[in-house]
Structure 1
């Protein structure tokens, strides 16, 4: 017998992330670190196409599972034993997924990745069915989620475990699976939107962004160590570390601006904000990988040129800035001010062709952060 989960008030005061949600974040960061490490090593070895594709496929699985759990918890985390046990099952799947990503980056075998992902998603099926039992208003929505997620897992088992080969056709089938997954919430929420908490979701996304940016901080620490580990100071790596720190601090400042990220509960805004963050999160992890690639290049441990390292930093930084415009600035600022981040993103893409690329890039991002802060309006909150 499936027990019921009680829904929460979407206007609950002082709603904050729970220790259990932070525990889920911790498991997610392990998987994100594995994907970023694979990207870093693949680019440093010159295996560009496979490294980038592997990173994108792996990151989607991590982000999508985290996102679905987070939106569910915002609406139905009743702190019951059932919810905790299902979350522990979800966490177990996340650890299997993290181990699978390490295998996938080395051998391109998806069996362990898909196994971990399916464990996480089946835990969500159980949670959605449990929520449906207590909720006449949103019961149809919850059942749609359970059915859609369950069918999607049959698809992933078929192509990820039974049929998987590293071919163009299979990549296309994988992309089709992504579209199926992305379509489930849109279809389910059509029945009746779930009672998620707006401020809670803004906080949850901000916390994951901080975790992802930890990849940048870790890469900076490694760069500092590489600069001094040879017995003499490596000025080029010190310059890289300093520039990387400026870029990281500036990206943090740009994300955590004064106004709310999500000022409306309208479905089109909610989906764009929720889905569009994948560009920010993936770009943040990839930027950390880019710092690590450049450190290996400057310490003569990579098989690619400095130009490749500069691209590995500039491109994800540009995507991060463009993602922020997509989910926030185009809605919160007048046209002239909203153009700050797209212009900075465009300028970032030019920097690999310039001398002192990372220094120039750091200057561009820092200038954008200062200018954006000056133009940031006072917070306006809408429930």
Structure 2
């Protein structure tokens, strides 16, 4: 709303953003009061509504943006998600070691220790590889138009989900190793 007051040329666009976001957020809250059977229907509709806000708001007049800044922000969030994934994996490995030490006999603990050390190394190597694959090409050249920028942003839902799912996969593997 500050942008609407300070920039007359972008007033309609910024108000569209503000209204679209406010209405969508209010609908998310309303969804909490819906019966359980209605939530699987309401959730995809609200996700699509949320994704549509920038498309609708930008159709009148595009807001100024800088490709390097946009890609840097997505890259920083990708680093955060990968870091959280490594932290969650490390915590799961440490937890498995402590649980094994307390409940398993010495030979079983030694076998699990070897597997967990290997898994730790593989987790670190895979995390570094994911980081390298993501940051290897310069991303700012991928977004020259609004359509490319929106596609770039929406594709990152998959990137973030995959980075987060990495640690979940590690935890599933740990559960398989420990028999839980």
> Which TM-score applies when normalising by structure 2?
0.84
Q: Which has the higher contact order (CA 8 A, sep 6+)?
A: 2
2:80 pairs, out of 186, 206, 211, with 211
SS at match of 1:138: helix
- Deviation of the 1:211 alpha carbon: 0.7
**SS in structure 1 at match of 2:62:** coil
The answer to whether residue 158 in structure 2 is matched with residue 279 in structure 1 is yes
CA shift, 1:258, in A, is 3.9
Root mean square deviation of aligned Cα: 2.0
CA contact (8 A) 1:202 1:261 kept: yes
Cα distance in 1 for residues equivalent to 2:129 and 2:35? 41
Q: Does 1:186 align with 2:55?
A: yes
Q: Do residues 157 (structure 1) and 29 (structure 2) align?
A: yes
Contact kept in structure 2, 1:226 and 1:237, CA below 8 Å: no
Query: Does structure 1 conserve the Cα–Cα contact (< 8 Å) formed by 2:24 and 2:50?
Result: yes
The reply to whether residue 136 of structure 1 matches residue 15 of structure 2 is: no
Please tell me whether residue 297 in structure 1 is matched to residue 176 in structure 2: yes
Q: 1:264 to 1:226 in 2, by over 3 A?
A: closer
User: Residues 154 and 215 of structure 1: is their aligned pair in 2 closer, same or farther, counting only changes over 3 Å?
Assistant: closer
Q: Does 1:148 align with 2:14?
A: no
Distance between the aligned counterparts of 1:157 and 1:258, measured in 2? 40
Separation (CA, whole Å) in 2 of partners of 1:244 and 1:152:
38
Structure 1 segment 301-316 matched on structure 2, within 5 A: 302=180
TM-score normalized by the length of structure 1: 0.42
State the Cα distance separating 1:293 from its structure 2 match. Answer: 2.2
Q: What is the CA-CA distance between 1:299 and the residue it aligns to?
A: 2.0
Higher helix share: 2
Q: Which runs of 5+ in 2 are unaligned?
A: none
The separation in 1 between residues aligned to 2:130 and 2:47, in whole angstroms, is 28
Higher-Rg structure is 2
Q: Name structure 1 gaps, 5 residues minimum.
A: 1-128, 303-383
Determine the C-alpha separation between the residues in 1 that align with 2:50 and 2:123: 35
CA contact (8 A) 1:223 1:238 kept: no
Give the count of matched residue pairs: 170
